[in-house]
Amino acid sequence: MPESHEMFKTISKKTDDSEFISSVPKGYEKGKTKFIVITGTVISGVGKGTFSSSIGTLLKLFHGYKVSPVKFDGYLNYDAGTLNPFRHGEVFVLDDGTECDLDLGTYERMMNSNFSKDNYLTSGKIFKTIIDKERAGKYLGRDVQFIPHVTGEIKSFLRNLAVKSEADIIMVEVGGTVGDIENSYFLEAMRELAYEEGKENVCFITVTYILQPRSLGEHKSKAAQLGLKTLMGIGIQPDIIICRSENPVNEKIREKISIYSNVPVERVINCYDIDNIYKIPIFLQDVGIDEEIIKILKLPRRDGNDRTEYHKWKELVEKINSANMEVTVGIVGKYTSVHDSYLSILKAIEHTSPYLGIRPKIQWIEATHITPENVKQKMEGVDGIIVPGGFGERGTEGKIECIRYARENDIPFFGLCFGFQMAVIEFSRNVCGLKGANSTEIDDETPHPVIFILPEQEEIKGLGGTMRLGGFDLGIEKNTFAHKLYGKNSARERFRHRWNVNPKYIETLEKHGLVFSGRAPEKKIMQILELPGKRFFVGTQFHPELTSRPINPHPLFRGFLEACLKK
């Protein structure tokens, strides 16, 4: 038996005198699953998530490999559920209810797949697992350390995912930059993974940024070189380097990076800014990165696979290039200074528009600045508005005012989660005559609590992971606008809420013309509202933006944009 196999058998042992603590789950077979590890260097926010998902898209849609991605986040939060949108962008929700980083949304959209809690790992989740095990006496009296215990848990997480997903490739994105304390043990775990699995089973791809100071007018690679030196200093040798830049870099820059990193120049790839992210998988194929990965990992060829989804992807890119009708969508929110707070909404608009020949334009409307006196001015020029999710009182009256103006002037309106609730409040006040109607989240002494907390949420004290979260089925009423758009009697959608329409007011709302066309089976939870006679006046208690995909846009977003186009 080869030495590497003997070493792997030793690693899987759990004894109190072994330094190899990295459990190998039942059914795990070394070499059956390959690993791609994507790291950063000098600065964050240069598109590792977009690049990772584009690689996954190419390997899945064109080559037919089963790819399961993982995002490592260094935060001590257990998940992303309690993070402020101003600081971290949107919280993406998976079908199993996991609240996670927005990169998981990018993975799902680009790879046209659903993922789970097994695809997202934070420092908080690792440390909680380790402390729970330590309290239960799982470490056989040992002192618990970063090496081998923390790194061992990280490797175990990946191997368990390999078994559960039966993936050909596990694609690991390590958040942050090299040198960060909070991701240092993630990087160490990846170094160990390559040592244990064998170099032919782990491919390291490093995304670095090539600076171009305006005062100089030329690219400078020294910062990237120093970042690579730090990465190599901790024992990680990149196989492929992606040089991100605003403009194309010259051959000399690639040669410098190649010499400095021991990476052949043909594996130093410049990924410069292009006009839309949907071209990136095709761009990466053109420069041959998929072929290099296949060579490095010695992946079996699957040239006979069905490439229908890949052809749909190329057709989408062609539609983007040919779209020529401009539509302006107003987004009425209170986090408008941080556009990533509404990333999934922006992407749903972006990838649905080309199917209608639309080039979308976004007009940001800050809800906290809206008054009855200026609402007309603030909404001037929009072809439709979206009122997205949110929490708390700030900006609510501005949102309600915008919804009133849209309803009275037949401007297409699309309310998502909190926007759905604001539409109920606006309709209650201004159509049903329920003066002072509100949500108990905003005013717990309102005379008309048309929105109130879900009964199962009343006794919950903690905030993290306690909302009504994840995928739930809903019924769609026949002969309604929603049924026309969906074309079916039921759907599965994703939720993230504590409050809902108060059943005591449903009869009054319906009597005055509001239609609840989507409802939860066996529960009196309203899921979709619509107002007949309008071009588009629809609200959803769920988040349709979370399940809209580039090659399968959500029908409600398509209906909304069609209405905007007609206007």
CA distance 466 to 429: 30
Write the CA distances from 425 to 264, 437, 529, 543, integer angstroms.
Answer: 62, 6, 12, 19
Write the CA distances from 32 to 3, 51, 189, 262, integer angstroms.
Answer: 18, 24, 20, 28
Alpha-carbon Rg for the chain, nearest whole angstrom, is: 26
User: Packing angle between helix 3-11 and helix 184-197, nearest 10 degrees?
Assistant: 130
Using alpha carbons, select from 245, 270, 244 the residue that is nearest to residue 255. Answer: 270
φ/ψ (deg, to 5) at 133: -65, -40
161-164, Cβ contacts within 8 angstroms, sequence gap of 24 or more = 161/68, 161/70, 161/118, 161/119, 162/28, 162/32, 162/33, 162/68, 163/25, 163/26, 163/27, 163/28, 164/118
φ/ψ (deg, to 5) at 416: -115, 115
Residue tagged active-site, from 203, 271, 417, 564: 417
Strands 169-174 and 34-40: parallel
Amino acid at 444: D
CB of 450 closer than 8 Å to CB of 428? yes
Cα pseudo-dihedral 488, 481, 95, 458, rounded to 10: -130
Q: Is 450 helix (H, G, I), strand (E, B) or coil?
A: strand
CA distance 124 to 121: 8
Using alpha carbons, select from 299, 65, 289 the residue that is nearest to residue 201. Answer: 299
Assess whether 545 carries a catalytic annotation: yes
DSSP H or E run through 429: helix 418-430
282-291, Cβ contacts within 8 angstroms, sequence gap of 24 or more = 282/313, 282/314, 282/317, 284/54, 284/55, 284/58, 285/58, 285/62, 289/55, 289/58, 289/240, 290/55, 290/58, 290/59, 290/62, 290/63
CA distance 140 to 457: 40
Residue tagged active-site, from 545, 554, 562, 564: 545
Q: Quick one: residue 223, left, alpha or beta (phi over 0 = left, psi -120 to 50 = alpha)?
A: alpha
Which residues face 500 on adjacent strands?
452
CA distance 27 to 174: 26
Assess whether 291 carries a catalytic annotation: no
Which residues face 475 on adjacent strands?
490, 519
Assess whether 197 carries a catalytic annotation: no
- How crowded is residue 262: how many other Cβ atoms within 10 Å of its Cβ? 10
Q: Which residues are catalytic?
A: 417, 543, 545
